[in-house]
Amino acid sequence: MKRSYFAGPYAVWMILFTIAPMIFVVFYAFHTTDGGITFDNIIRCFDATTMKVFLRSVKLALMCTMLCLLLGYPAAYILASKDFSKYKMLFVLFILPMWMNFLLRTYATMSLLENRGIINTVLEKLGFERVNMIGTEGAVLFGMVYNFLPFMILPIHTSLKKMDTRVIEAAQDLGANPFRVFARVTLPLSVPGVISGITMVFMPAVTTFAISRLLGNGNFMLLGDMIEKQFMESHDWSFGSALSLFMMILIMLSIGLLNRIEPNKGEGGGKW
């Protein structure tokens, strides 16, 4: 039996649940409710209200990605260290939230941040006033980082674990101090993992709607919320499809831009 036959079920799945929905999105984006062809839906994507929501979505997604990178890289570096004795247990703790349903994790975050939540209860016990956190941009950002942080840690951790330690040993033998070893060897060799982590965090962050709805209390509409509203409330499938197409193009451009960043081919760089 040819190996290509094993790809048959996967091809059918991709056609039914990936390619076909994308075709419908493109179709509705350029058609009116009565079946006529129009570009008005695409033009509406660039009006003031939509662009304001778009810029807010990109801003929060970029902030989430940067925070996940700043928090995730040290965590992945520590977990990948061969001297880290409790590696397996803590690695499980880092990926444990991924085993839970996305909405359950978000509701758990609400129990921490709400006015009668755990954090405010502790603050009150310590003599401080309660802080209104739900319904703020900070709460939405916190929820994004909490939900998407494991997606940054895992690819970076994989790159660091696959790294040839002999390269690091060679750099140390040539007199490089720990900072130069990290800057000239470890960091360049981990760039593929960093790029994968950025992609895996930015894409769901810029399209999320459940986090902004639950933690933002409806005060911060993101592009994902706007798309969901067009399909579920306004029943304007044409404009909703145009927004979805706009978002898909943005994601494809982001992936293309990241793929143009060519990491060093396994070399630590010049002199130490």
Which CATH number does the domain housing residue 131 bear? 1.10.3720.10
The pTM for the full model equals 0.84
pLDDT at 266: 43
Report the phi/psi class of residue 20: left, alpha or beta, with left for phi > 0 and alpha for psi in -120 to 50.
Answer: alpha
Asked if 231 and 240 count as a contact pair (C-beta separation under 8 A), the reply is yes
Q: Is residue 24 part of a domain?
A: no
3 lies in some domain: no
Q: What pLDDT score was predicted for residue 34?
A: 77
Q: What local confidence, expressed as pLDDT, does residue 20 receive?
A: 92
Query: What is the predicted pLDDT for the residue at 83?
Result: 65
pLDDT at residue 271, as a whole number: 43
Q: Tell me which residue has tokens 């943005």.
A: 250
Is 29 within 8 Å of 41 (Cβ atoms)? yes
Q: How many domains, in total, are found in the chain?
A: 1
Cβ within 8 Å of residue 102, ≥6 positions away: 147, 210
Helix/strand/coil for 36: coil
Residue 241 lies in a domain: no
Q: Is residue 144 part of a domain?
A: yes
In a domain, 178, yes or no: yes
What pLDDT shows up at residue 262?
Answer: 54
CA–CA dist 191, 260 (Å, integer): 12
- Is 43 a domain residue? no
Is 4 contained in some domain?
no
pLDDT for the residue 265: 46
Whether residue 225 is contained in a domain is answered as yes
Give the range of the structural domain holding residue 131, as residue numbers without chain letter.
Answer: 51-236
Q: What is the pLDDT along the chain (272 residues), one digit of tens a residue?
A: 566 677 778 888 889 988 998 999 999 999 887 778 889 999 999 999 999 999 999 999 999 999 999 999 998 988 887 666 556 677 777 777 777 888 888 888 888 888 888 888 898 888 888 888 888 899 999 999 999 999 999 999 999 988 888 888 888 888 888 888 888 888 998 999 999 999 999 989 998 988 998 898 878 789 999 998 999 888 899 999 999 999 888 888 888 887 776 554 444 444 44
